[in-house]
Structure 1
Amino acid sequence: MKRFFTILLLVLSSIAVAQELEDKSLLTIDGTSYDAGTFMRVYLKNLDVVQDEEQKDIDNYLDLYIDYRLKLNQAYELGLDEKESYKKELKNYRQSLAQAYLTDTEVTDALVQEAYNRMTREVKASHILVKVGPGDAPQDTLRAWNKINSIKTELDKGGDFAQIARAQSEGPSAGNEGQLGWFSVFKMVYPFETAAFETPVGKHSKIFRTDYGYHIVKIYEDRKARGKVTVAHIMTMDSRDATEKTAEKRIKEVYKQLQETGKFEELAREFSDDMNSGPRGGKLDRFGTGGLNAPVFEDTAFGLEEKGQYSEPFETKFGWHIVKLIEKHPLGGFKELEATITDKIRKAPRARKITDSFNKNLREKYQVTRSDDVLAVLNQVITDSIMPNKWQYDLNHATVKKTVFEIKDKKYTYGDFYKFVMQRQKKDFTNYASKEEKIKKLYDDYIDSSIAAYYDENLEFENKDFAFIYNEYKEGLLLFDLLETKIWNKAKEDSLGQQAYYNEHKEKYQWKRRLDIIMTQNTTEEVAQEVKKLLEQGTDKTAIKEQFNVDGRTKVMISSGIVEETYNRLPDNFEVTIGVSSIYHDKKTGFYKVIVVNEILEPTQKTLDEARGAVINDYQQQLEKDWLDSLRNGRKIKLNKKTFKKVKKAIEKNA
Structure 2
Amino acid sequence: MNFKYLFILIFSVFISNVNGQSANKEVLFSVDDEPVYVSEFLRVYNKNLDLVQDESQKDVDEYLSLFTNYKLKLKEARVLKIQEKPTYIRELDTYKKQLAKSFITDAKVTDALVQEAYERISNDVKASHILIKTPENANPNDTLAAYNSIVKLRNRALKEGFEKVRQEVHNGQTVYGEDLGYFSGFRMVYAFENAAFNTKIGDISQPFRTQFGYHIVYVQDKRKSRGERTVAHIMVVEKPGDSLAEKPEDRIQDIYKKLKQGEDFEALAKQFSDDTNSASNGGMLAPFTGGQINAIAFEDAAFGLNEVGDMSEPFKTQYGWHIVKLYGKKPIASFDDMKPELEEKVKRDERSKLIDEALYSKLKTKYNIPEKQPALGYFASILNDDYFKSTWQLPKDFTADKALVKMGSKQLTYKDFGDYLVSAQRNTAAKTDFKSLASKHYTEFLNTNLVAYQEDNLETENKEYANVVTEYRDGLLLFDLMETTIWNTAKTDSLEIENYYNTHKNKYLTPKRVDAVVASSKDKKTLKKVAKLLKKGMALQQIKSLVNSNDKIDVIFTVDIMATSHQALPEGFYFKEGISKIYNHNNAFVLVQVKDVLPETLKTLEEAKGLVISDYQTYKEEKWLRELAEKYKVVINQEALKSVKSQIKNE
Alpha-carbon distance in structure 2 between the residues aligned to 1:471 and 1:632: 23
Do the aligned partners of 2:363 and 2:450 also contact (CA within 8 Å) in 1?
yes
Share of identical aligned residues, percent?
Answer: 28
What residue identity is the alignment partner of 2:457? N
Corresponding residue for 2:574?
A: 576
TM-score (normalizing by structure 2) = 0.63
1:515 matched to which residue of 2? 512
Matches within 5 A, 1:454-473: 454-473=453-472
Q: Is the 8 A contact 2:128 2:181 kept in 1?
A: yes
Q: Counterpart of 2:473 in structure 1: which amino acid?
A: K
1:109 aligns with 2:111: yes
After superposition, the Cα gap between the structure-2 partners of 1:462 and 1:576, relative to the gap in structure 1 and judged at 3 Å, is same
Question: Deviation per CA, 1:304-335, whole angstroms, max 9, x where unpaired?
Answer: 43556345999xxx99x998544476554145
Q: SS at 2:375's partner residue?
A: helix
Question: Which amino acid in the other structure matches residue 478 of structure 1?
Answer: L
Match of 1:436 in 2: 435
Show structure 1 runs of 5+ residues with no match: 236-249, 265-275, 540-554, 603-608
Q: Is residue 519–residue 559 contact of structure 1 (8 Å, CA) maintained in 2?
A: yes
Judge which range, 571-580 or 446-455, deviates more.
Answer: 571-580
Letter in 2 for 1:379: A
Q: 1:601 and 1:16 mapped to 2: Cα distance?
A: 51
**Partner letter of residue 346 of structure 1?**
K
Q: Distance in 1 between matches of 2:180 and 2:497?
A: 70
Amino acid at match of 1:475: D
Bigger mean CA offset, 341-350 vs 226-235: 226-235
Name the counterpart of 1:246: none
| Structure 2 CA distance for partners of 1:190 and 1:337, relative to 1, 3 Å | same
1:298 shift after superposition: 6.9
Q: Tell me the TM-score normalized by structure 1.
A: 0.63
Counterpart in the other structure of 2:358: 357
RMSD, matched Cα: 6.6
Q: How do 1:475-624 residues align onto structure 2 when only pairs under 5 Å count?
A: 475-480=474-479, 515-518=512-515, 559=561, 567=565, 571-573=569-571, 575-580=573-578, 596-598=595-597, 616=616, 619=619, 623=623
Is the contact made by 2:150 and 2:215 (CA closer than 8 Å) also made in structure 1? yes
Find the aligned partners of 2:28 and 2:251 in 1 and give their Cα distance: 78
Seen in structure 2, the aligned counterparts of structure 1 residues 124 and 409 have a Cα distance that, compared at 3 Å, is: same
1:189 lines up with 2:186 in the alignment = no
How many matched pairs?
578
Aligned to 2:379: 378
Structure 1 residues 313, 468: CA separation in 2 closer, same or farther (over 3 Å shift)?
Answer: closer
Q: CA deviation at 1:185?
A: 1.6
1:72 is matched with 74
Give unmatched runs, 5+ long, in structure 2.
238-246, 262-273, 523-529, 541-556, 602-607
Cα offsets for 1:131-189 (capped at 9, x unmatched): 7776666677667777877888999xx85653895599899799998754332222332
What does 1:127-526 correspond to in 2, within 5 Å? 127=129, 161-162=161-162, 180-205=180-205, 208-211=208-211, 216-227=216-227, 288=290, 302-305=303-306, 309-310=311-312, 324-327=323-326, 330=330, 332-333=332-333, 334=335, 337-369=338-370, 371-387=372-388, 389-394=389-394, 396-429=396-429, 431=430, 433-480=432-479, 515-518=512-515
1: CA distance, partners of 2:49 / 2:304: 49
**Contact 1:519–1:593 (8 Å) recurs in 2:** yes
Preserved contact between residue 199 and residue 205 of structure 1 (Cα < 8 Å): yes
SS at match of 2:12: coil
1:43-88 alpha-carbon deviations (Å, 9 max, x no partner):
7755654679999899999998777556533432343434455445
Distance change (3 Å), C-alpha of 1:360 and 1:13? farther
Letter in 2 for 1:443: Y
Q: Cα offset for 1:118? A: 0.8
Q: Distance in 2 between matches of 1:220 and 1:140?
A: 31
SS across alignment from 2:222 = strand
CA distance in 2, matches of 1:534, 1:375: 96
- For residue 426 of structure 2, give the secondary structure of its aligned residue in structure 1: coil
2:132–2:150: 8 Å Cα contact kept in structure 1?
yes
Distance change >3 Å, CA 40–CA 187, structure 1 → 2: same
Of the structure 1 ranges 81-90 and 436-445, higher mean CA displacement relative to structure 2 is found in 81-90
Contact 1:128/1:174, CA 8 A, preserved across alignment: no
How much does 1:99 deviate?
A: 4.5
Contact 1:383 1:391 (8 Å CA) reproduced: no
CA distance change for structure 1 residues 175 and 418 in 2, over 3 Å: closer, same or farther? closer
